[in-house]
Amino acid sequence: MLLIFVLTNIRLRNVIKKKKDSQCHRTGTLPFMAIEILKHNAEHTFQHDLESFFYVLCWICCEYEGSRGKLRASDCGRKNLMKWVEGSPETIGTIKSGMILDFERDILETPSIL
C-alpha cells in the first residue's frame, strides 16, 4: 500500500480567497476533523488541516500493521477510535479532547507500537 500526502505552501493560503459564508461550515469526515471545528464550528485554518492529518495517521497506525497493508490482529486502540464515528460533531469533539489528554493510554495501549 502506497500512501502519498501533499502539504501545501502555507504562505500561499492568502492567494485563494474563500467566501466568508463558507469558512465556518463543517466539511470533512467526522473522525478526522479538528476538535475546534467539531466543538465550536470555528473558522478553518491550516492548523486544523495538520490536526486532521494527525488523526488520519492515528487511524492508519491502529488499523494496519507494517508497510504491507496488513490489518492488525489486535484491537490496538481501535475500540477507542470507533468512538470518533458516531454521535454529533460536538460529542465527537468532546470524546477526542478527552482521549488526546491521555493519548498514550487510549490510543497507543500496545507497547509494540511505541
**Separation CA 54–CA 34 (nearest Å):** 9
Whether this model's pTM surpasses 0.85: no
Domain membership flag for residue 58: yes
Give the model's pLDDT for residue 34: 92
Domain membership flag for residue 60: yes
State residue 70 phi and psi, 5-degree precision: -80, 130
Domain membership flag for residue 35: yes
Domain membership flag for residue 73: yes
Domain membership flag for residue 8: no
**Separation CA 18–CA 100 (nearest Å):** 30
∠ CA 91-51-107 to the nearest 5 degrees? Answer: 65
Per-residue pLDDT of the chain (114 residues; tens, 9 = 90+): 555 555 555 555 554 454 444 455 666 788 999 999 999 888 888 999 999 999 998 888 888 887 777 888 777 677 778 888 888 899 999 988 888 887 766 666 654 544
Give the model's pLDDT for residue 15: 46
Domain membership flag for residue 63: yes
**Separation CA 67–CA 82 (nearest Å):** 23
Q: Is 78 exposed, middle or buried (0-12, 13-18, 19+ CB in 10 A)?
A: middle
Written as one letter, the residue type at 12 is: L
